[in-house]
Chain A
Amino acid sequence: MTIDMEHFTPLASLAGGILIGLAALILMAMNGRVMGISGILGDAFLNNPISGLWRWAFLGGTLVSPFVYLLWAEELLPRPVAAGSTLLIGGFLVGLGSAIGSGCTSGHGICGLARFSLRSFVAVMVFMISAIITVYLMPHGA
């Protein structure tokens, strides 16, 4: 293992994590909801849109958030790793897996771990190992 010092951003990432945590706390304290994006996104389409309007409000906030970030940040340059059918199949697996597994990086990874949920701990271990093996097996630059 070699540490990638060139791209390592501990302070910005810690600050980002604290904001993500704060967002989850606001949603729980005010709306009584777990900030799990796979659940919010899936249920936005499957549940009653009127009683579930808070989901669309949350998703709307997330949709515009990069542009809020750019009000003071200089740039936001995502470097894609997948394209074409790989991207679409990957996206489908992200949705399918997080629905069947009842959560993703936010719901299990942030909220579940903080509630000391055993299910979330197991889910995080499994998807981390699965993702690490996937990246290990994928052809990518050294």
Chain B
Amino acid sequence: MALITALISGIIFGVGLALGGMLDPSKVVGFLDLFGVWDPSLAFVMGGGVIINVIGHQIIARRSRPICDNQFHLPMTKTITLPLIIGSVLFGIGWGVTGLCPGPAVASTFVNIDTGISFIVAVIAGLVIGKIVLKQLRPA
């Protein structure tokens, strides 16, 4: 059951990315090109996603646990840390250069096989190394 709901969530997520324009790197860069010819569309993607979640969370928060698991798995860290800042700067550079963030990178894997597979491999390599680095930085 938990696998089916995760699969459905993944499909809806990717269809939303495609419909919203997030799978088109030029459109993403057009949104980030604030000082050029600016395409504000992706602000609507983020706005729509956040508003639905703000409303939905009010309903989910009334439950003590999710339907297919014993507990909600929420991030424990609450403080602003140096890795949070440095990581976000690096992520922003990569996103600006390629026009692809991790979600669209996954969804694009088989859309354009020539570049999709090598790109997702590069993202995964960065993720694995980054997670190992982050583990070293954290006090045991």
Residues of A within 8 A of B (CB): 1-4, 7-10, 12-35, 37-38, 41-43, 45-46, 53-55, 57-69, 73, 76-83, 86-102, 104-106, 108-111, 113-115, 117-119, 122-124, 126-136, 138, 140, 142
Contacts and interface: CB of A to CB of B under 8 A. Distances in A.
A46 B123 CA distance: 14
Contacts of B95: 90, 94, 105, 127, 131, 134
Nearest to A113: B50
Nearest to B87: A101
Nearest to B135: A46
A34 B34 CA distance: 29
Contacts of A19: 12-13, 15-16, 19-20
Interface of B: 1-27, 29-30, 32-42, 44-54, 56-57, 60, 63, 65-69, 71-75, 77-80, 83-103, 105-112, 115, 118-131, 133-134
Contacts of B134: 99-100, 102
A22 B33 contact: no
B84 A101 contact: yes
8 contacts: A21-B16, A21-B51, A65-B10, A78-B26, A90-B122, A94-B98, A95-B123, A97-B87
A61 B18 contact: no
A117 B5 CA distance: 25
Contacts of A62: 10-11, 13-14, 103, 106-107
A115 to B, nearest CB: 6
Contact of A102 (B8, B13, B71, B84): B84
A126 B86 CA distance: 9
A123 B106 CA distance: 21
Given A31-B66, A88-B119, A102-B84, A115 B30 contact: no
A94 B49 contact: no
B2 A30 contact: yes
B14 to A, nearest CB: 2
Contacts of A1: 34-35, 38
B36 A25 contact: no
